[in-house]
C-alpha cells in the first residue's frame, strides 16, 4: 500500500525535494488531513463509473483520493511549478489528466467532451483557492456543463452565504444566484489546522446539486438578476429605495407603486426578506416598465 501524499511528513518531503514555496497570490493552502480528504470525496458520491473535475490540485493530495473512487479525473492547475510535482505524485494513477490552465479561461465543456466522453456521471470536487471562489462557482453553474454537481472546500463565510435562507443576514444576491442553478448545503466545517500553510479563515465544504429546472420560471433571466442585484445594492434600504436608485424608475413612481400592489409585495420590505419566487414575480412585473 502506498503512503498517502496527504500527511504532513510526505508533504514536507515533496515540497523540500522540489524546492517549492507557496505563492500567496494563488491562494495556495494544501490539505494534510486524510479524514477530511476522505470526507470531501464521500460527499461527492462517486462510483467507479464517475468522472471528476478538480481545480487547483496542488501537489495532488485530494486528487489521489478522488482518483481512488472514480473512473477518470481531470485536474486544472494554473501554477506551472506544480506540474513536475504532480506528474511524480500522481504517477500511480494513470487515469488522472492534469491540464495546465486557469479554470476561469478554460473551455470546460470542450475539455469534458475530449477527456470525459462517454462518462454519464461527472462531479466537480475541489479545494478552491479562496480569492476566486465566487467567479469559479458561477462559471461552473452558468456554463450549462453536463455535471451532477460541485463539492468544494471554500471559506466558511462564503459557504454560509451560498446556502443562506431568506431573512438571514447571510442571504444576499449571491445566495439567490447560486440557488437558482443548484441546491446548496454546507456538509462539513473544517478547522484551519488541516491546511499547510494554515489560512486566516475557517473553511467549510459545500455541496451544490445542479437543478434540472430553476425553482422559478422568469421571462428574462438577465433582468431577473439585475433586479436582485439592485434590491441588495444597499442592504439597509427598502426595496422601494433600492429599485428607484438602481434602475431607471425615477420617472415611474406611480407605475412602480401599482406593480407592488398587483403582486402583493410590500415595497417597504428589504431585499433580504424576499424568496427567489417573489423576486421572479417582481422581475416579471417590472420588465414592462423598463421596455
241 is in an annotated binding site: no
Mean pLDDT of 124-135: 93
Helix ranges, the chain (H):
8-17, 34-43, 61-67, 83-89, 108-115, 133-142, 156-162, 173-181, 221-231, 239-246, 253-263, 276-286
For 263, how many CA atoms within 13 A lie in the half-sphere containing its CB?
19
Overall domain count for the chain: 2
More confident residue, 286 or 9: 286
Q: Are residues 51 and 94 in the same domain?
A: yes
pLDDT at 1 over 50: no
Is residue 226 a known part of a binding site? no
Q: Is 127 annotated as a binding residue?
A: yes
Q: Could you tell me if 64 and 187 lie in one domain?
A: yes
Mean pLDDT of the chain: 93
Q: What is the mean pLDDT of the segment spanning 113-121?
A: 97
- The answer on whether 79 is annotated among ligand-binding residues is no
Q: What is the pLDDT of residues 201-251, one digit of tens each?
A: 899 999 999 999 999 999 999 999 999 999 999 989 999 999 999 999 888
Annotated binding residue at 56?
yes
**227 shares a domain with 136:** no
Cα(first)–Cα(last) distance of the chain, in Å? 66
**pLDDT greater than 90 at residue 188:** yes
Query: Would you say residue 122 lies in a domain?
Result: yes
**Mean pLDDT, rounded, for 171-195:** 94
What pLDDT is stored for residue 233 in this prediction?
A: 95
Mean of pLDDT values over 149-175 = 96
Residues 125 and 193 in one domain: yes
In this structure, the answer to whether residues 195 and 237 fall within a common structural domain is no
Q: Residue 85 domain-assigned?
A: yes
Q: Assign residue 90 the CATH number of its domain.
A: 3.40.50.150
Do 198 and 225 fall within a single domain? no
In a domain, 60, yes or no: yes
Q: Is residue 126 part of a domain?
A: yes
Handedness of CA 102, 45, 173, 219 (dihedral sign): positive
Do residues 167 and 128 share a domain? Answer: yes
Q: Which domain holds residue 188?
A: 8-210
Take residue 200 and report the three cell numbers written for it: 486566516
pTM of the predicted structure, to 2 decimals: 0.92
Q: 210, 240, 271: which is the final residue of a domain? A: 210
pLDDT bin (cut points 50, 70, 90) of residue 148 is: very high
Q: Is residue 215 part of a domain?
A: no
- If asked whether residues 204 and 229 sit together in one domain, one would say no
CA atoms within 13 A on the CB side of 84: 7
**Residue-level pLDDT at 2:** 55
Which of 154, 187, 210 is a domain's end point? 210
The answer on 186 and 263 residing in a single domain is no
- The reply to whether 118 sits in an annotated binding site is no
The verdict on residue 271 lying in a domain is: yes
Express each pLDDT in 4-50 by its tens digit: 787 778 888 888 898 888 887 777 788 888 899 999 999 999 999 99
Domain for residue 44, yes or no? yes
Same domain, 49 and 193: yes
- Looking at the structure, tell me whether residues 184 and 250 fall in a common domain: no
In a domain, 169, yes or no: yes
Span 77-88, pLDDT tens digits: 999 999 999 999
* In a shared domain, residues 147 and 268: no
Amino acid at each position: 500500500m502506498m503512503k498517502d501524499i496527504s500527511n504532513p511528513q510526505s508533504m514536507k518531503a515533496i515540497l523540500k525535494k522540489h524546492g517549492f514555496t507557496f505563492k500567496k497570490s494563488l491562494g495556495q493552502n494544501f490539505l494534510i488531513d486524510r479524514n477530511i480528504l476522505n470526507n470531501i470525496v464521500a460527499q461527492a458520491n462517486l462510483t467507479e463509473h464517475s468522472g471528476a473535475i478538480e481545480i487547483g490540485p496542488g501537489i495532488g493530495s485530494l486528487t489521489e483520493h478522488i482518483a481512488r473512487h472514480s473512473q477518470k479525473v481531470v485536474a486544472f492547475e494554473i501554477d506551472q511549478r506544480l506540474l513536475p510535482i504532480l506528474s511524480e505524485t500522481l504517477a500511480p494513477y494513470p487515469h488522472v489528466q492534469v491540464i495546465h490552465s486557469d479554470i476561469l479561461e478554460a473551455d470546460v465543456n470542450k475539455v469534458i467532451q475530449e477527456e470525459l466522453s462517454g462518462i454519464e456521471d461527472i462531479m466537480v470536487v475541489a479545494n478552491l483557492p479562496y480569492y476566486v471562489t465566487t467567479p469559479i462557482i458561477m462559471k461552473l453553474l452558468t456554463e450549462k456543463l453536463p455535471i451532477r454537481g460541485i463539492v468544494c472546500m471554500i471559506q466558511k463565510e462564503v459557504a454560509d452565504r451560498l446556502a443562506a435562507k431568506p431573512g438571514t443576514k447571510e442571504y444576499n444576491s449571491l445566495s439567490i444566484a447560486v440557488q437558482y442553478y443548484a441546491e446548496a448545503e454546507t456538509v462539513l466545517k473544517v478547522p484551519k489546522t488541516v491546511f499547510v500553510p494554515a489560512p486566516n479563515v475557517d473553511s467549510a465544504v459545500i455541496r451544490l446539486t445542479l437543478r434540472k429546472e430553476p425553482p422559478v420560471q422568469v421571462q428574462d433571466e438577465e433582468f431577473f438578476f439585475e433586479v436582485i442585484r439592485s434590491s441588495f445594492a444597499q442592504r439597509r434600504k427598502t426595496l422601494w429605495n433600492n429599485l428607484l436608485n438602481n434602475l431607471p424608475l425615477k420617472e415611474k413612481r406611480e407605475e412602480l407603486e401599482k406593480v407592488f400592489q398587483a403582486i402583493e409585495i410590500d415595497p417597504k420590505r428589504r431585499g433580504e426578506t424576499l424568496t427567489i419566487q417573489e423576486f421572479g414575480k417582481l422581475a416579471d412585473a417590472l420588465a414592462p416598465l423598463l421596455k
